[in-house]
Amino acid sequence: MNALDFSPLFRTAIGFDRLARLMDTARAAADAPAYPPYNIERTADDAYTLTMAVAGFGEGDLDITAQDNVLVVSGKAPQASDNGRFLHRGIAGRAFERRFVLADHLRVEGASLENGLLHVALKREVPEALKPRKIAINGSQPRAIEGEVSNDTAPRGGEQAQAA
């Protein structure tokens, strides 16, 4: 069983079509070539580092793009003439494109290339409006809603009986 059917979910839930796209992307990534190899490391509660082994690629050969919760890292192979000098060529120098689906509010902070490793720093920044906030409880007496009579101004049952 390779396919998941999300149609029952879509009949009763709104806005979860992104889940289906995420599952399709994950399935496609599993079938994709494993070049270049990479690590994903959690460096703090809300920080991650993507490290890719890109031996033979320089800064000008690599392109990093983040758009719509997708991080695309691509590299175009440097043009080198081998002139038949290589007896064995084990270092892959082919072009590549890797796609990573980013969680909501995950932002690319920067990238660096050192010793053949590309490091991409990612950080989750949740907007203030979406963060949990503490709600203060004001006083012990309920406040009147506009147009309604509060308990303080309404006559009480005992007062009505005495007035009558």
Q: What's the pTM value of the predicted model, to 2 decimals?
A: 0.62
Greatest mean pLDDT range, 74-78, 152-156, 158-162: 74-78
- The reported pLDDT for the residue numbered 137 is 85
164 pLDDT higher than 60: no
Contact of 123 with 61, CB cutoff 8 Å = no
CA distances from 77 to 44, 62, 81, 158 (A): 33, 9, 12, 91
Residues sharing a CB contact under 8 Å with residue 119, sequence separation 6 or more, in sequence order: 49, 50, 51, 111, 112, 113
CA nearest 116: which of 87, 95, 91? 91
Q: CA end-to-end span of the chain, whole Å?
A: 80
In angstroms, the CA 138 to CA 146 distance is 17
Mean pLDDT value across residues 80-90: 75
Question: Hey, what domains does the chain have and what are their CATH numbers?
Answer: 1-32 (no CATH), 35-80+90-135 (2.60.40.790)
The pLDDT tens digits for 107-144 are 999 999 999 999 999 998 888 887 788 888 887 666 66
CA 164 to chain centre: 69
